[in-house]
Structure 1
């Protein structure tokens, strides 16, 4: 585990993709909450906490386990914030309350120790993936979400499984055609949203390509911090007044 600074700091994570099929990710996440996040002033979860979310009424034991762990972290003094991802956009206030976390809008500017910073999940930046953006626009409609959340639980489970299969096929088609860049962010869109928000720093997930990118913004240099996924490692960004640092720890069986 990486050593933690004694100065006030906040943590950012995304794309954890918790599921009953990956107990190793769950174990790593619980360890992270108990040993790393508990020392932070705030923890920002920027989407895809779960691999799939079919509604706050899902009785799966893992969902209750995570809620209990997050609520304990919140009760211990770490502020929790959540931005929806493309896997858990159905997550509602009821579950957020169980976890002790605050739901944020899709894009939010926050003050990070004197530095205005834009945070988001990141899928809206992938504008070249036209098929996905059409789907994203569809599922963002309140009426569609209302209908889906009022379907029987078993039907929602079935539809979620079908959606994951379609998503995997969609990604495989791009991989087979060597078009992986389509699933990455569009540089022009990054510049647009940063200029629109009047910030020089952006934090997001979604692409599963952790890195720090230098961005040219009207004669200034900005930074785009991309969070890592948790498929093979636990990953977080630590921000304090003195440092911005990505951390990685390999998962263990």
Structure 2
């Protein structure tokens, strides 16, 4: 079974081209046994597993057809969709992965994660993440009425846009000391989040692979197939 890893699609009703790109990816791999890993920020914002919005219907239908054909889907939460849980994944037989996810492939020890925890220099975000991901607070958040969560989502998106418009704003990349710390005992680290796709040699025997974000303006994404343990390569997925 072929293994495919993607991240940072940021799907939303406002960006139909990204959704079409994801649906095309599923269709292109439906008839070849595929194990699809989505390493966070699948959706630009996720408020409720019970969301029945019309724009989600073709996504769920395509995923149901994909898994019915014998393929597998595994999801790991990102900083944009950390509320998404097994309830939504049950609609199409998906599996929820806790972060980090450790696995062995072709004799290599792999560590999969979204990547935001590697950006340890972003102190304010790490503090916020620790608070918002507290199981008690997360449980309360999930139980709130959907309409209230929509307002809350709009508030956080507006704050994010304000931060990015600030003259002092610079996207914070990973802290390499944190990368090396988390790669202890690991051969390959695979993550997204930073929107800086690359394959980096950390040592003679360790590799860091950063998945690319899905870019609506030119219809491309950098994705990863696990096929050759001696040679990793990011592939450009093009969509229209």
TM category, shorter: over 0.9
* Unmatched tracts of structure 2, length 5 or more: none
In structure 1, the partner of 2:35 is: 42
Q: 1:116/1:23 Cα in 2 relative to 1: closer, same or farther (>3 Å)? A: same
In structure 2, the partner of 1:239 is: 226
In structure 2, the partner of 1:128 is: 121
8 Å CA contact 1:235–1:248 kept in 2: the answer is yes
Q: 1:250/1:79 Cα in 2 relative to 1: closer, same or farther (>3 Å)? A: closer
Helix, strand or coil at the partner of 1:26 = helix
1:191 corresponds to which of 180, 189, 194: 180
Q: Distance in 1 between matches of 2:122 and 2:225?
A: 30
- In the TM superposition, what whole-angstrom CA distance separates every residue of 1:1-25 from its partner, at most 9, and x where no partner exists? xxxxxxx421000000111111111
8 Å CA contact 2:113–2:191 kept in 1: the answer is yes
8 Å CA contact 2:223–2:237 kept in 1: the answer is no
* Equivalent residues in 2 for 1:5-20, closer than 5 Å: 8-20=1-13
C-alpha root-mean-square deviation of aligned residues, in Å? 1.6
TM-score (norm 1): 0.88
- Equivalent pairs, count: 236
1:248 aligns with 2:232: no
2:89 corresponds to which of 93, 96, 104: 96
Q: CA deviation at 1:210?
A: 0.6
- In the TM superposition, what whole-angstrom CA distance separates every residue of 1:178-235 from its partner, at most 9, and x where no partner exists? 643xx1110000000010xx1120100001111111103xxx4311110011123233
Q: 1:34/1:192 Cα in 2 relative to 1: closer, same or farther (>3 Å)? A: same
8 Å CA contact 1:123–1:206 kept in 2: the answer is yes
Q: Distance in 2 between matches of 1:164 and 1:129?
A: 18
TM-score (norm 2): 0.92
2:187 corresponds to which of 196, 200, 203: 200
Q: Distance in 2 between matches of 1:30 and 1:222?
A: 33
Q: Distance in 2 between matches of 1:105 and 1:62?
A: 27
2:201 corresponds to which of 200, 211, 214: 214
Helix, strand or coil at the partner of 1:12 = strand
Q: Which runs of 4+ in 1 moved over 3 A?
A: none
